[in-house]
């Protein structure tokens, strides 16, 4: 399009005209051609103004580019020149009536249909208007009520909204795969995974106010909120640990797995000091080297402190001891030597042979690089002795015995004679002792829960099996001869009152160590049942080995009182309704809190259908959650397990493609054969081992939580 500028004269065809008596016409050009490119739907005057404005802006930038760097005697190698001038933009002030001001990010967004409400935005330059409109849309999103649940009760809608399933019909539809977009193309990076465990104050979707929770009482948490207090106490480093210039001690409060306040340590005075907002959770002290590896730690629970109105509390002594590993003492059940040591050539294996250790002269054995809370079946063997198998927990020093083969044979012969029966094949023995706070208990009846008809053997004061005894003697000893192989639970009772329990693994040609410990000390811990991917609390009935009665967790959170013992326990979770599947979970009586994530069976089934995995009638499923670091998982000493049956997912339940797990996500093991397995997780950053001993039954679901 051509536009021309004209002077205020009579113009004809682009020239000036004089009268004929002057002598004719003379052509004088009085314009410069101006070319403007504009959209076809733009009026000429709009296009003209845009071009003029663009030329003015370009002119200003051209002036700036001509400015040369100011030489301030800096080195020629410097790559950061200083300029003599800088552009100072004039402050822009936008004013508008109060009713049209954009809402804050934290306030609810208000939608309006008034066309005049956005006129002031439309009057701004295009770039600025777009930014303000984007900010308004972002504020509306942030202002939505995210506390209300977004999942319906239907399994199909649950899968679609959780990101595990996208389809319009059935379970054979498309499954979300993390790292792949809707078109099936691979994304450049996997989304960063984060995990946020439910706190004792609120869940996603919990609209209950703090006042309502306070009025509701202890069902919402352990204790009421308290004022911040300062805790001071002595600290000690033991177990051969020492602090050098390459080490440091960190002390923090942890509340249900979430790290809170950071404290201080005075090594010269041997004191620690930490200011806490709430007297809940645990204070943990760690000795850490320059590489971030934890060499030792110690802790205490804050609920043990005596309540005080003072701002300062006297804390107990914290002993920093070597980092918890599998460690203990192996001795001989019959040793005439004064020193209680293991038989010669005693060897011990952990995690089904992953680590094999030769016992020292004092019988000490250990496996390091193991995370807190791990469990394994320790197997000890020596020449002329029966193998002993026992479930051990990291962080608790065990003490187990090796029994001479002649001693076990004599036991079988005596029992066979007393009961007029014979025992064929390799012996399968359960041997243990019942104690209360370290003291032997008499008058206790022991039952093998999975084989209640199997009669126990009790020993008199001469350590001989006595058929007349119907309960433990003063030594507290008991045994089961010819016990069925497999995973079993022992139960100690007195007058229909449960005193304690212990889980054992019985193997052919082996003695299962089944010491039943009990204590008068107990701890109150929070128990939470929630959706694994949304954190929303869900009611369920919980059956625990430590409790005689089932726990009805109606609001998804409650407190339970557990004995202060470190031992492996199992619990069964029966969620309310049909959306979530019942599952077996593991716990430790010494846990500071118990979190129970729930999963949908339809989620598990949709992933299996998508991957076209075969069904096995005699196999189970294991789901694990790993919040701390990237990882890999495998079944110990089970090399024939099909890798296709191992599925990794992110924190939203979406399948990962790289065959490795990420922090905050987890894994699924499909078609796990019936047996007692050890599930092992290896951390990618620390290379530490998380292990769990777990019995797997046919058509069962087991859920594991691998947290430190």
Q: What's the pLDDT tens digit per position in 567-592?
A: 999 999 999 998 999 999 999 998 98
- Average pLDDT on 2-15 reads 42
Confidence of residue 339 (pLDDT cuts 50, 70, 90): low
Give the pLDDT of residue 91: 60
Task: End-to-end CA distance of the chain: give it in Å, rounded.
Answer: 74
Residue 353 has pLDDT above 50, yes or no: yes
Does pLDDT of 170 surpass 50? no
C-alpha distances in Å from residue 423, one per residue of 412, 414, 437, 469? 7, 11, 36, 21
Mean pLDDT of 555-578: 93
The pLDDT tens digits of the residues spanning 171-189 come to 334 466 655 554 444 443 3
Identify the CATH assignment for 326-403 out of 3.30.365.10, 1.10.150.120, 2.60.40.1120, 2.60.120.10.
2.60.40.1120
Q: Is the pLDDT of residue 459 over 70?
A: yes
- As a whole number, mean pLDDT of residues 670-684 equals 94
Question: Residue 454 has what pLDDT?
Answer: 93
Asked whether residue 702 carries a pLDDT value surpassing 80, the answer given is yes
Mean pLDDT of the region 423-442: 92
DSSP 83: B
pLDDT given for residue 393 in this prediction = 93
Q: pLDDT digit string (tens) for 374-429?
A: 999 999 999 999 999 999 999 888 999 999 999 999 999 999 999 888 888 889 99
Residue 573 is predicted with a pLDDT of 96
> DSSP string of 362-401?
T-EEEE-SB-TT-EEEEEEE-TTEEEEEEEEETTS-EEEE
How far apart, in whole angstroms, are the C-alpha atoms of residue 631 and residue 621?
19
Distances (CA, A) of 466 to 174, 415, 480, 532: 65, 9, 13, 52
Report domain extents, the chain.
Answer: 98-142, 163-221+524-708, 229-322, 326-403, 425-518
In this prediction, residues 334-357 reach a mean pLDDT of: 82
Tokens standing for residue 490: 């022992």
**pLDDT exceeds cutoff 60 at 478:** yes
- Mean pLDDT of the residues in the chain: 76
Asked if 345 contacts 382 with a C-beta cutoff of 8 angstroms, the reply is yes
Q: How far apart are CA 285 and CA 299, in angstroms?
A: 6
With 0-12 CB in 10 A as exposed, 13-18 as middle and 19+ as buried, what is 486? middle
Query: Is 312's pLDDT higher than 50?
Result: yes
Gap between the Cα atoms of 478 and 433, Å rounded: 6
Structure confidence at residue 594 (pLDDT): 93
pLDDT at residue number 395: 84
Task: Quote the pLDDT of residue 190.
Answer: 29
Q: Is 708:372 a contact under the CB 8 Å cutoff?
A: yes
Q: How open is the CA angle 424-431-572, to the nearest 5 degrees?
A: 100
Report d(CA 28, CA 76) in Å as an integer. Answer: 58
> Under CATH, which architecture does the 425-518 domain have?
Sandwich (2.60)
Higher pLDDT, 126 or 326: 326
Q: Which pLDDT belongs to residue 144? A: 47
pLDDT of res. 33: 54
Cα 29 off chain centre by: 82
Least confident range of 86-95, 350-359, 480-489, 649-658: 86-95
Is the pLDDT reported for residue 685 higher than 90? no
Cα distance between residue 345 and residue 356, in whole Å: 12
Give pLDDT, residue 271: 92
The pLDDT score that the predictor gives to residue 516 is 95
In angstroms, the CA 377 to CA 677 distance is 10
Is this model's pTM higher than 0.85 or not?
Answer: no
Highest averaged pLDDT of the listed ranges 13-22, 252-261, 303-312, 446-455 = 446-455
- Cα–Cα distance for residue pair 280/559, rounded to 1 Å: 13
Q: What percent of the chain has pLDDT over 90?
A: 43
Please write down the HEC assignment for all residues of 231-257. Answer: EEEEEEECCCCCCCCCEEEEEEEEECC
Q: Are 498 and 548 in contact (CB under 8 A)?
A: yes
Cα 173 to chain centroid distance, Å, stands at: 29
pLDDT at residue 239 in the model:
80
Report residue 252 as tokens: 């923090």
Query: Does residue 313 register a pLDDT over 50?
Result: yes
Region of poorest pLDDT, from 322-331, 366-375, 487-496, 625-634 = 322-331
d(CA 672, CA 621): 6
pLDDT of residue 97: 45
- Token pair for 111: 């939608």
Site of tokens 């930014």: 131
Find out if CATH 3.30.420 is the number for domain 229-322: no
% of the chain beyond a pLDDT of 70: 66
Query: Among all chains, which residue has been given the structure tokens 């093991």?
Result: 669
* Tens of pLDDT, residues 537-551: 999 999 999 998 999
Q: Do domains 229-322 and 425-518 have the same CATH topology?
A: yes
C-alpha dihedral sign at 706, 693, 688, 236: positive
Q: Is the pLDDT of residue 472 over 60?
A: yes
Which one has a higher pLDDT value, 68 or 572?
A: 572
Which residues have a Cβ under 8 Å from the Cβ of 697 and sit 6 or more positions away? 620, 674
Q: Greater confidence, 190 or 526? A: 526
Q: Contact, 468 vs 450, CB < 8 A?
A: no
Band the pLDDT of 54: cuts 50, 70, 90.
Answer: low
Q: In degrees rounded to 5, what are phi and psi of residue 273?
A: -145, 130
Per-residue pLDDT, 341: 80
| Torsion angle defined by CA atoms of residues 118, 124, 125 and 131, in that order, rounded to the nearest 10 degrees | -60
Q: Measure the CA–CA gap between 279 and 228, rounded to whole angstroms.
A: 8
Per the listing, tokens 């196999």 go with 619
Mean pLDDT of 187-200: 34
pLDDT at 642 over 60: yes
Contact 660, 648 (CB under 8 A): yes
- What pLDDT is stored for residue 164 in this prediction? 47
Q: What is the pLDDT of residues 207-256, one digit of tens each?
A: 333 334 333 333 333 333 445 789 999 998 888 888 888 888 889 998 88
Dihedrals phi, psi of 140, to nearest 5 degrees: -65, -40
Lowest mean pLDDT segment, chosen from 307-321, 387-401, 647-661: 307-321
What region, left, alpha or beta, does residue 269 occupy, with left being phi > 0 and alpha being psi -120 to 50 degrees?
Answer: alpha
Mean per-residue pLDDT, 110-136: 52
Higher pLDDT, residue 362 or 221: 362
Segment 321-331 shows an average pLDDT of: 85
Q: Which region among 148-162, 322-336, 567-581, 583-597 has the lowest average model confidence (pLDDT)?
A: 148-162
Phi, psi of 451 (to 5 degrees): -140, 70
Confidence of residue 140 (pLDDT cuts 50, 70, 90): low
Contact at 8 Å (CB) between 545 and 571?
yes
Higher pLDDT, 472 or 268: 472
The confidence score (pLDDT) of residue 574 equals 96
């Amino acid at each position: 399009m051509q536009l021309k500028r004209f002077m205020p004269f009579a113009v004809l065809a682009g020239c000036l005209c004089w009268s004929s008596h002057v002598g004719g016409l003379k052509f004088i050009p009085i314009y410069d051609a101006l070319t403007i490119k504009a959209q076809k739907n733009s009026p000429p005057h709009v296009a003209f103004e845009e071009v003029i404005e663009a030329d003015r802006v370009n002119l200003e930038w051209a002036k700036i580019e001509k400015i040369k760097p100011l030489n301030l005697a800096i080195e020629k190698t410097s790559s950061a020149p200083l300029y003599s001038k800088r552009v100072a933009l004039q402050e822009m002030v936008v004013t508008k009536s109060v009713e049209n001001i954009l809402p804050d990010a934290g306030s609810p967004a208000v939608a309006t249909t008034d066309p005049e409400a956005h006129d002031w935005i439309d009057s701004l330059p295009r770039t600025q208007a777009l930014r303000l409109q984007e900010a308004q849309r972002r504020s509306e999103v942030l202002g939505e009520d995210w506390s209300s649940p977004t999942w319906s009760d239907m399994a199909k809608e649950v899968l679609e909204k959780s990101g595990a399933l996208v389809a319009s019909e059935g379970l054979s539809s498309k499954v979300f795969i993390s790292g792949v977009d809707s078109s099936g193309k691979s994304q450049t990076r996997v989304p960063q995974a984060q995990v946020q465990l439910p706190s004792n104050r609120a869940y996603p979707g919990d609209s209950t106010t703090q006042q309502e929770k306070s009025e509701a009482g202890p069902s919402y948490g352990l204790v009421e909120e308290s004022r911040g207090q300062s805790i001071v106490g002595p600290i000690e480093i033991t177990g051969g640990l020492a602090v050098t210039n390459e080490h440091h001690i960190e002390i923090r409060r942890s509340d249900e797995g979430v790290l809170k306040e950071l404290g201080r340590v005075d090594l010269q005075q041997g004191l620690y000091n930490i200011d806490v907002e709430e007297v809940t959770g645990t204070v943990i002290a760690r000795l850490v080297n320059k590489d971030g590896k934890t060499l030792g730690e110690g802790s205490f629970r804050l609920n043990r402190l005596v309540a005080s109105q003072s701002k300062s509390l006297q804390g107990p002594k914290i002993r920093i001891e070597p980092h918890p590993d599998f460690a203990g003492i192996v001795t001989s059940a019959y040793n005439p030597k004064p020193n209680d040591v293991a038989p010669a050539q005693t060897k011990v294996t952990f995690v089904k042979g992953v680590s094999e250790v030769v016992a020292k002269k004092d019988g000490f054995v250990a496996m390091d690089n193991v995370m807190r809370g791990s469990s394994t079946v320790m197997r000890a063997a020596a020449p002329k002795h029966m193998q002993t198998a026992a479930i051990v927990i990291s962080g608790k020093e065990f003490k187990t015995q090796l029994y001479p083969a002649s001693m076990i044979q004599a036991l079988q012969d005596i029992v066979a004679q007393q009961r007029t029966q014979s025992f064929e094949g390799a012996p399968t023995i359960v041997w243990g002792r019942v104690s209360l706070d370290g003291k032997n208990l008499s008058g206790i009846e022991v039952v093998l829960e999975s084989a209640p008809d199997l009669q126990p053997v009790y020993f008199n004061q001469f350590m001989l099996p006595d058929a007349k005894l119907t309960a433990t003697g003063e030594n507290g000893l008991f045994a089961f001869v010819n016990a069925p192989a497999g995973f079993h639970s022992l139960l100690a009772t007195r007058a229909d009152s449960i005193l304690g329990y212990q889980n054992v693994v019985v193997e052919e040609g082996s003695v299962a160590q089944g010491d039943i410990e009990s204590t008068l000390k107990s701890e109150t811990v929070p128990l939470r049942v929630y959706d694994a991917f949304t954190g929303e609390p869900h009611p369920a009935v919980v059956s625990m080995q430590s409790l005689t009665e089932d726990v009805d967790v109606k609001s998804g959170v409650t407190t339970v009182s557990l004995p202060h013992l470190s031992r492996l326990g199992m619990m069964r979770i029966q969620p309310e309704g049909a959306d979530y599947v019942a599952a077996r979970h593991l716990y430790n009586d010494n846990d500071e809190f118990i979190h129970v994530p729930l999963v949908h069976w339809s989620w598990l089934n949709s992933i299996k259908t998508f991957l076209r995995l075969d069904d096995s009638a005699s196999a189970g499923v294991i789901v694990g959650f790993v919040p701390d670091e990237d990882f890999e998982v495998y079944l110990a000493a089970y090399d024939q397990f099909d890798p296709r049956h191992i599925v990794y997912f992110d924190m939203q339940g979406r399948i990962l493609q790289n065959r490795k797990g990420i922090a905050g996500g987890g894994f699924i093991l499909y078609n796990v054969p019936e047996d007692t397995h050890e599930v092992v997780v290896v951390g990618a950053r620390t290379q530490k081992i998380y292990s769990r001993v777990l019995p797997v039954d046919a058509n069962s679901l087991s859920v594991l939580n691998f947290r430190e």
